[in-house]
């Protein structure tokens, strides 16, 4: 059992201003942040540590097992999934204080909910789809599988020093998703179109800090996908 | 132009949307609470069935049909299953042509694995994340149509109510934008519901928390019947985690994992002992019941384990990667070295919105596909048939909708009566006197359901559940408004309770044991009275239960 203070950045639907509220949680040290949020929300009355009445915490969740990417948020400063961030890995000092905030690079809807519409729009802008049947290449199967695992959670964009919703650089997840499609497309014109978009929306903007590699909640092999994408998209090679 | 409105952007919804856009002159409005990446379909692990017959085992669509019907104890519509199994091989090939990264064998054929209830290798898979890999390829396909303007997504919108014309046909629906609470009427030629199973009524489930079953409950309360609601599949191998269960895919047993428990200090492989032929790959209902019996009837046994330690490293890494990763992340268990303690958990609802062979509901212009619909699986679903049923159901519902289309293009009044009704309902809600918090009520509802609708049921526990539920509704739910929860949750909570009641009443009415419905007081299967579909219908006051004949297989 462990007693923690969980400090949550709050914002209501109809108000621009954010504020912090702290709640106490006592429970198993193996609990995830998602479990803690569920637990706090299922209390009869929600009272913060200063004794104030609080509204229930708004956050997105789905699978609770690292497969849907809904619960991405900033936990102790790191973009992470609430479902797979466990208290035992987060408690660092004697205060047992854990701070959680919404991803900062997307508009906050309310509390920990953000509007990630721009992610899906950016993938459309980059024309990321197949026009032809996919080219089958046994050697690239594993990389293409990894490309298709991406959760679109947005953690890689949050940590990226180059990504900002207002500029043309679409960030790591667009490269990760694009890799498979660029490599599999048999229709030349559309392949070239995707390559052009890749250069414009990814290659020209990536500063290669690779902060995304460490932060990806499902450990996608980002550097490997990046070098393969560049091989095709920038150096014009065909992968063997 | 024919305009289809699709509620739910999981596998069935995307499949219907793609099917519509493959033909000319159709457009799609795709409504979902969250983006497709968050749909429960991405959680599907094991694979998708189809008699591709590439393993030299002489497999056939007839055998797939027989296995599906037998596993479902002959409650499914045989004509629908015939069509499902006949089209399955092509569906898998189509998914591969969209770019789904199925595992391939040495000949670059789509690889097939063994799965429960089937003696032949028939399950195409992508490691143990088949749902995610299929969804990614369909999302990319849908993206092409979005760019072309054929599919318009309304993400962050929830379904509230269907809109009907004067002849009672469905011509659209009212949705609520969750980002600003705005109510919006949307009109089209037909509406396809693909909103997933009723997992949200329970907590001992592997399903997504976002699969609330609320849409089904709203439709049920408005008079659309539920079929076979008592048939709830417990997956034998799950683990309790967070406020739900985590699935350990059947793939683990398909690849050679063994179930055991300790008896007198020795490993007891109870499935292999009792069922020497199929062993650990018996259908899910059978294994879950065996585990339930062991845990409830033998005081000396507290745990059942799934053992993967004997599997080759290569199989574990290439075919079961996600299972190993989940166990390590969430439980600190390394399945390569130690057995996994498991318990059965709710995994799939065979029952749901009643549809005909072509996915029509009783309302003209309204269709249902995927887990929310009662189709294909009868009394118990075969592993590998849910992804298949979702893809195929999406295609069939779309084709039927296009064929039946209403031509409602002209109806687009800004204030349909349904919208006004909801606005009035919201005004009335806020005047209510009880103030019970919905999350607490929800836990109480799940508790009642979990105590009565367990793997093994009997009259006494079911009647107690029904009583408790009636009391609960009368004393806590009626006249309740929780200002700390959303309008959507408030409007629908009583509907969820009524749907829950339909599930219990269906289980009471079926006085036999069949598939996932086991009655300790009626242990035998009774074909004469109950080889039928259970229909639960709400008449505005009470729930009527009756049984309908199952259509005969056409020649």
Among all residues of chain A, which has the CA nearest to that of B135? A148
Contact in structure between B332 and B239 (CB atoms under 8 Å): no
pLDDT digits (tens, 9 = 90+) for A213-238: 999 999 999 999 999 999 999 999 99
Whether residues B35 and A115 touch (CB distance < 8 A) is answered with no
Residue A234 buriedness (CB in 10 A; 0-12 / 13-18 / 19+)? middle
Establish how many alpha carbons lie within 13 A of residue A159's alpha carbon, considering only the half-sphere containing its beta carbon.
Answer: 25
Percent of chain B with pLDDT over 90: 91
Tell me the two tokens of residue A97.
């204080």
Mutation target vs B (from A143, A149, A170; most B CBs, 10 A cutoff): A149
Beta partners for residue B5, in sequence order: B29, B191
Cα separation, A12 vs A24, in Å, equals: 21
Chain A closest-CA separation from residue B46 CA (Å): 14
Kindly report the CATH number that applies to the domain delimited by A117-233.
1.10.1060.10
Residue A183 C-alpha, separation from nearest chain B C-alpha, in angstroms: 11
Beta strands in B204-331, from DSSP E residues, in sequence order:
226-227, 232-241, 244-247, 258-263, 266-268, 304-307
- Give A2-114's CATH code, choosing from 3.40.50.300, 3.40.50.720, 2.40.50.140, 3.10.20.30: 3.10.20.30
Question: Active site residue: B113, B153, B253, B284, which one?
Answer: B284
Q: Using a pLDDT cut of 90, give the percent of chain A over it.
A: 90
pLDDT in the model for residue B241: 84
CB atoms within 10 A of CB B473: 18
CATH superfamily for B1-231+350-522+534-546 is FAD/NAD(P)-binding domain (3.50.50.60)
* Contact present, A66 and B247 (Cβ < 8 Å): no
Per residue in B100-127, pLDDT (tens digit) is 999 999 989 999 999 999 999 999 999 9
Report how far residue B346's alpha carbon sits from residue B240's, in angstroms, rounded to the nearest whole number.
Answer: 11
**Identity of the residue in A60, A116, A184 whose CB atom sits nearest the CB atom of B99:** A184
Note the pLDDT of residue B555.
Answer: 83
Q: Provide the pLDDT for residue B275.
A: 96
Cβ neighbors of B475 (< 8 A, separation 6 or more) are none
Report CB contact under 8 Å: B208, A68. yes
Indicate yes or no: CB of A13 within 8 angstroms of CB of B181: yes
Residues A78-132: tens digit of each pLDDT = 999 999 999 999 987 777 999 999 999 999 999 999 999 999 999 999 999 999 9
Contacts of A56 in chain B (CB under 8 A): 439, 484-485
Chain A, nearest residue to B210 by Cα = A62
Q: Give the number of beta-carbon pairs within 8 Å between A and B.
A: 139
pLDDT at A16 over 90: no
Instruction: Please compute, for residue A136, the number of CA atoms within 13 A of its CA located in the half-sphere on the CB side.
Output: 14
Residues sharing a CB contact under 8 Å with residue B51, sequence separation 6 or more, in sequence order: B59, B60, B61, B63, B64, B85, B88, B89, B120, B122
Residues 6+ apart with CB under 8 A from B100: B126, B133, B134, B136, B137
For chain B, give the percent of residues with pLDDT over 70. Answer: 99
Contact assignment for A109 to B179 by CB distance below 8 Å? yes
Q: State the Rg of chain B over Cα.
A: 23
Question: Do residues B290 and B274 lie in contact, with contact meaning Cβ atoms separated by under 8 Å?
Answer: yes
Answer whether B330 sits within 8 Å of A127, measured CB to CB. Answer: no
Residue B381 bears catalytic tag: no
Element (H, E) at A222: helix A222-233
pLDDT at residue B412 greater than cutoff 70: no
Distance CA B311, CA B307 (A): 9
CA distance B493 to B98: 40
The second-level CATH assignment, the architecture, of B236-346 is Alpha-Beta Complex (3.90)
Is pLDDT larger for residue B409 or for residue B188?
A: B188
Question: Would you call B141 and A129 a contact, using CB atoms and an 8 Å cutoff?
Answer: yes
> What pLDDT, in 10s, does the model give residues B425-436?
999 999 999 999
424-483 in B: which are within 8 Å (CB) of A? 437, 439-440, 442-443
Burial class (CB in 10 A: 0-12, 13-18, 19+), B502: buried
Q: Which residue has the higher pLDDT, A43 or B368?
A: B368
**Is B299 in a helix, a strand, or coil?**
coil
Residue B545 confidence (pLDDT)? 98
* CA within 13 Å, CB half, A163: 27
Whether residues A129 and B143 touch (CB distance < 8 A) is answered with yes
B484 close contact with A: CB closer than 8 A: yes
Quick check: B209 contacting A, CB < 8 Å? yes
Give the separation between CA B352 and CA B213, rounded to whole angstroms: 10
Q: What stretch(es) of chain A map to CATH 3.10.20.30?
A: 2-114
Single out the residue of B203, B149, B208 nearest to residue B8, CA to CA: B208
Rounded mean pLDDT, B336-356: 97
Distance between CA A219 and CA A221 in Å, rounded? 6
Rounded CA separation B250/B319 (Å):
12
Q: What is the pLDDT of residues B33-66, one digit of tens each?
A: 999 999 999 999 999 999 999 999 999 999 999 9
* pLDDT exceeds 60 at position B409: no
Place of tokens 């198993």: A28
Q: What is the mean pLDDT of residues B78-93?
A: 98
Return the residue of B nearest to A68 by Cα.
Answer: B38
Angle at CA of residue B502, ends B293 and B224, nearest 5°: 135
Residue of A nearest to B133 (CA): A148
pLDDT of residue B408: 59
* A155 band by pLDDT with thresholds 50, 70 and 90: very high
pLDDT band at B410 (very low <50, low <70, confident <90, very high): low
Separation in Å, CA of A91 to nearest CA in chain B: 17
Yes or no, beta carbons of B40 and A41 under 8 Å apart: no
> Who's near B298: CB < 8 A, 6+ residues apart?
B263
Interface contact B129, partner A, CB < 8 A: yes
* Model confidence band, residue B243 (pLDDT cutoffs 50, 70, 90): confident
**Inter-chain touch A141–B126, beta carbons under 8 Å:** no
Could you tell me if B119 lies within 8 Å of chain A, comparing CB atoms? Answer: no
Contacts of A65 in chain B (CB under 8 A): 43, 241, 246, 326, 330
User: Residue B139: is its pLDDT beyond 90?
Assistant: yes
- For residue B132, the distance in angstroms to the closest alpha carbon of chain A comes to 7
The CA distance from B528 to B542, in Å, is 27
pLDDT in tens, B177-219: 999 999 999 999 999 999 999 999 999 999 998 899 999 999 9
Subunit contact A13:B136, Cβ cutoff 8 A: no
Q: How far is it, in rounded angstroms, from Cα A59 to Cα A111?
A: 7
Question: CA nearest B398: which of B196, B170, B189, B186?
Answer: B189
Please, what is the average pLDDT of chain B?
95
Quick check: B37 and A45 CB within 8 A? no
CATH 3.50.50.60 range(s) for chain B read 1-231+350-522+534-546
Scanning every residue of chain A, which has its alpha carbon at the shortest distance from the alpha carbon of B106?
A: A138
CA distance A102 to A100: 7
Q: Where in chain A is the domain with CATH 1.10.1060.10?
A: 117-233
* Residues forming CATH 3.90.700.10 domain(s) in chain B: 236-346
Does B126 lie at the interface with A, CB-CB under 8 angstroms? yes
């Amino acid at each position: 059992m462990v007693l923690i203070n969980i400090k949550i950045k709050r914002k209501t639907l109809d108000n621009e201003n954010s504020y912090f509220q702290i709640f106490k949680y006592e429970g198993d040290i193996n609990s995830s942040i998602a479990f803690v949020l569920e637990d706090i929300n299922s209390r009869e009355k929600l009272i913060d540590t200063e004794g104030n009445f609080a509204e229930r915490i708004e956050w997105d969740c789905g699978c609770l097992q690292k497969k849907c990417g809904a619960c991405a948020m900033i936990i102790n400063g790191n973009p992470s999934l609430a479902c797979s961030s466990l208290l035992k890995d987060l408690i660092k000092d004697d205060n047992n204080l854990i701070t959680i905030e919404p991803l900062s690079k997307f508009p906050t809807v309310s509390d920990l909910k953000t509007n990630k519409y721009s992610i899906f729009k950016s993938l459309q802008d980059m024309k990321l789809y197949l026009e032809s049947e996919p080219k089958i290449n046994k050697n690239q199967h594993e990389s293409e599988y990894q490309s298709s695992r991406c959760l679109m959670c947005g953690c890689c964009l949050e940590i990226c020093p180059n990504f900002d919703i207002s500029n043309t650089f679409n960030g790591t997840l667009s490269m990760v998703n694009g890799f498979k499609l660029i490599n599999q497309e048999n229709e030349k014109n559309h392949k070239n179109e995707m390559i052009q978009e890749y250069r414009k929306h990814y290659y020209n903007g990536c500063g290669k800090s690779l902060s995304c590699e460490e932060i990806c909640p499902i450990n996608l092999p980002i550097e490997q996908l990046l070098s393969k994408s560049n091989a095709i998209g920038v150096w014009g090679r065909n992968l063997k | 132009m024919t305009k289809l409105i699709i509620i739910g952007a999981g596998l069935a919804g995307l499949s219907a949307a793609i099917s519509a856009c493959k033909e000319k002159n159709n457009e799609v409005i795709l409504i979902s609470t969250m983006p497709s990446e968050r749909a429960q379909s991405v959680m599907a692990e094991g694979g998708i069935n189809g008699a591709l017959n590439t393993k030299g085992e002489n497999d056939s669509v007839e055998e797939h049909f027989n296995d599906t019907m037998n596993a479902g104890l002959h409650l499914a519509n045989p004509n629908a299953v015939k069509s499902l199994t006949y089209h399955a091989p092509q569906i898998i090939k189509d998914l591969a042509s969209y770019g789904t990264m199925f595992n391939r064998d040495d000949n670059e054929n789509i690889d097939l694995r063994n799965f429960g209830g089937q003696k032949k290798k028939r399950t195409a898979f992508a490691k143990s994340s088949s749902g995610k890999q299929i969804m990614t390829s369909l999302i990319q396909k849908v993206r092409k149509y979005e760019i072309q303007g054929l599919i318009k997504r309304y993400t962050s919108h929830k379904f509230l109510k269907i809109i009907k014309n004067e002849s009672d046909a469905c011509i659209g629906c009212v949705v609520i934008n969750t980002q600003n609470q705005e109510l919006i009427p949307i009109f089209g030629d037909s509406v396809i519901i693909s909103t997933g199973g009723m997992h949200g009524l329970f907590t001992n489930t592997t399903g997504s928390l976002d699969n609330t079953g609320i849409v089904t409950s709203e439709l049920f309360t408005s008079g659309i019947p539920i079929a076979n609601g008592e048939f709830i599949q417990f997956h034998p191998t799950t683990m309790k985690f967070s406020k739900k269960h985590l699935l350990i895919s059947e793939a683990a047993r398909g690849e050679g994992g063994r179930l055991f428990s300790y008896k007198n200090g020795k490993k007891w492989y109870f499935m292999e002992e009792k069922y020497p032929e199929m062993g650990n790959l018996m259908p899910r209902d059978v294994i879950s019941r065996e585990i339930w019996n062991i845990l409830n009837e033998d005081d000396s046994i507290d745990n059942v384990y799934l053992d993967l330690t004997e599997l080759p490293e290569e199989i574990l890494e290439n075919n079961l990667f996600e299972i190993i990763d989940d166990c390590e992340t969430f439980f600190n268990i390394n399945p390569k070295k130690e057995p996994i303690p498991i318990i059965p958990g709710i995994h799939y609802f065979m029952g749901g919105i009643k549809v005909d062979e072509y996915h029509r509901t009783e309302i003209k212009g309204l269709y249902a596909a995927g887990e929310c619909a009662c189709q294909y699986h009868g009394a118990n679903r075969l592993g590998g048939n849910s992804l298949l049923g979702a893809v195929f159901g999406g295609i069939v519902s779309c084709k039927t909708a296009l064929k039946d289309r209403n031509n409602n293009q002209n109806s687009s009044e800004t204030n349909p009566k349904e919208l006004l009704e909801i606005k009035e309902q919201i005004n009335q809600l806020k005047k209510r006197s009880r103030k019970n918090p919905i999350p607490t009520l929800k836990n109480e509802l799940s508790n009642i359901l979990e105590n009565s609708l367990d793997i093994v049921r009997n009259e006494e526990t079911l009647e107690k559940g029904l009583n408790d539920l009636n009391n609960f509704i009368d004393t806590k739910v009626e006249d309740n408004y929780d200002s700390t929860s959303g309008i959507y949750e408030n409007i629908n909570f009583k509907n969820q309770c009524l749907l829950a009641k339909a599930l219990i009443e269906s289980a009471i009415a079926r006085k036999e044991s069949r598939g996932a419905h086991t009655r300790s007081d009626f242990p035998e299967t009774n074909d004469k009275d109950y080889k039928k579909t259970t229909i639960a219908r709400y008449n505005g006051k009470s729930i009527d239960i009756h049984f309908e004949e199952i259509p005969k297989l056409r020649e």
